[in-house]
A = this chain, B = another copy of it.
Amino acid sequence: MKILLIIADGLGDRPFESLNGKTTLEAANKPNLNRLAKEGMVGLIDPIRPGVIPGSDTSHLNYLGYDPFKYYTGRGPFEAMGTGLTLKGGDVAFRANFATVDKNGTVTDRRAGRIREGTSELAKSLNMKIEDVEVLFKEGTEHRAALVLRGQGITTDVTDNDPHAENLKPRDIVPTTKEGIKTARILNEFYKRSLLILKDHPLNKRRRTEGLREANAILYRGGGQVPTLPNFAERYSLKGGYVAAVALVSGICRLVGLRDFTPNGVTGSIDTDVRKKFSAAIEALKEVDFVIVNVKGTDIAGHDGNGIAKKEFIEKIDEAMGETIMKVRNDIVICFTGDHSTPASVKEHTSDPVPILLHYPGCRRDGVGDFDEISAKNGYLRLTGSDLMNVLLSSANRAEKYGA
């Protein structure tokens, strides 16, 4: 059987005041999710382990069967993927800022006036080759960006140049071991060239005339090596694909070798076309055996503290399921859950376990006909993230017996 894994990002919630103390899932009108619950089983999943607050990166890795305690190499590589860069195992990625330095090279603003516009042009101008090393530079949100070095002998054994405070000069870029010598040389050369490029960049000229702080220097920190992840298809004998408009998630999917089935025009926003994503996923299942779909609106509304919008996005998901997923539900394994909780009352990720729903032909029915955080505790499943792939493979009759 084929497997459809739907991740409603940040799905889990807590009682929300404007919803009369109900959680967003409890308050939402969701006949399709409830029907799947009734026909299948529900429960709770700790994406990492109880009490550990998951990031979307560590959680998606764990769900796909890649132990984050083994493979997660820090925010640098995963935030870099989040900018949309396609990274490869072995690349070294840093978190970077556009910053403002004065004539003496002293940092006067670590965030270049929280610059919002034009960073894409600036970033493009900073892609270059130094020696045999490819330097990739990509803007993120506001002043944030990713700096990636790709080439032989590149390591993380170098100091950060970010002084982490204003009125200081960027720190010297020096190797911390012999293995860092080449990387430090490349980064020093990059810093020198970037000062020249940014100084004369039309955008900075304009900002100068407008009295805005120039984005005329690059500070970086938190380097990490992109992990080389075992290929998903080989690991599970399963051709896999993804539908995800969030760069961090799609970056991870690409890294494990999942194929991109994301249709044009969908986004990671709350106003995205969920039905289009689901349709694309079902189409994809004609070509591959496993598809993971990420819808992000739940998380965004959670971070915004907007429980009403989160509830409505859940209703949008449910409605989109009616015309797509519900029609194939007797032919495939369907799993619906979140990668973590983002309660609207907290506006941040929390470690609350996430409700999970599992539905496949002939499965046990636990008699719970509501899909929400509280009903879920009466359901059948109590998993941690690292169990998920095993459970899915097994539900799809794709697991091998362990023993005789």
Contact = CB atoms under 8 A, between A and B. Distances in A.
A383 interface: yes
B364 A51 contact: no
Contact of A58 (B48, B378, B392, B402): B402
Nearest to A69: B402
A380 B377 contact: yes
A54 interface: yes
19 contacts: A14-B364, A50-B390, A51-B388, A51-B390, A52-B390, A52-B394, A53-B400, A53-B401, A55-B402, A68-B402, A68-B403, A78-B403, A248-B404, A345-B362, A352-B364, A365-B374, A377-B379, A377-B380, A382-B382
Contacts of A391: 50-51, 351
B378 A374 contact: no
Contacts of A55: 401-404
Interface of A: 14-15, 23, 48-59, 68, 72, 75, 78-79, 82, 248, 343, 345-346, 348-352, 362-367, 373-374, 377-380, 382-383, 387-394, 397, 399-404
Given A78-B403, A350-B394, A390-B351, A365 B15 contact: yes
Nearest to A53: B401
Given A51-B393, A79-B404, A248-B404, 15 more contacts: A51-B399, A52-B402, A53-B394, A59-B403, A78-B403, A82-B404, A343-B362, A346-B397, A348-B401, A349-B401, A351-B390, A351-B394, A364-B374, A377-B379, A377-B380
A403 B58 contact: yes
Given A52-B390, A75-B403, A366 B362 contact: no
A140 to B, nearest CB: 11
Q: Which of A53, A68, A248, A401 has the most CB of B within 10 A?
A: A401
A399 B23 contact: no
B15 A402 contact: no
A402 B48 contact: yes
A159 B78 CA distance: 44
